[in-house]
Amino acid sequence: MICVIQRAVSAAVTVDGSTVGSCSGGDLMAGVLLVLAGIKAGDTPETVRKMAEKTAAMRIFEDENGKLGLSVRDIGGSVLAVPNFTLCSSCRRGTRPDFTMAEKPERARELFDRYVGSLRETGITVETGVFGADMAVSCRLDGPVTIVLDSEKDLTAL
């Protein structure tokens, strides 16, 4: 699984002109994470659970000392999770992306839903995009702070 996590003040996703998910933190101490989530072939329910836990615990909001010491859970923030199979691309053979690393749609939808459910189990409010839809995502970044989590590289500490 690959997650691109962006610290934001607000984020929204629309499908066919209608907003289907949105989060707004108001001030920066009630921040938002926009998470673009790609499910890779071979990912498991345990993988997505661990990625959700890591997302919820990621300390990328400033504490009272101005350091990145607080998580979205710590500040009572929210998450807009957007499924994005294009994160599982390879461009090793030219300039046209190859998506063979992406999980098949039915399985990917199931695992994305498990990721969202696991985030919600941590107590975080989660909004989502629509799996398989052509979505327009808008975001007002904060920082910007952008973190890329890759389950193959970043889960060894859990």
- Give the pLDDT confidence of 57-115 residue by residue, as tens digits: 999 999 999 999 999 999 999 999 999 999 999 888 889 999 999 999 999 999 999 99
- Mean pLDDT over 52-57 rounds to 97
CATH for 2-143? 3.50.80.10
| Domain spans in the chain, listed from the N-terminal domain onward | 2-143
Task: Return the SS3 of 72.
Answer: coil
Tell me the average pLDDT of the chain: 93
pTM of the prediction? 0.93
Residue 47 confidence (pLDDT): 96
3-state SS string for 20-65: EEEEECCCHHHCEEEEEEECECCCCHHHHHHHHHHHHHCCCEECCC
- Give the pLDDT confidence of 105-147 residue by residue, as tens digits: 999 999 999 999 999 999 999 999 999 999 999 999 999 999 9
Q: Of 45, 41, 118, which Cα lies nearest the Cα of 87?
A: 41
Task: Return the SS3 of 111.
Answer: helix
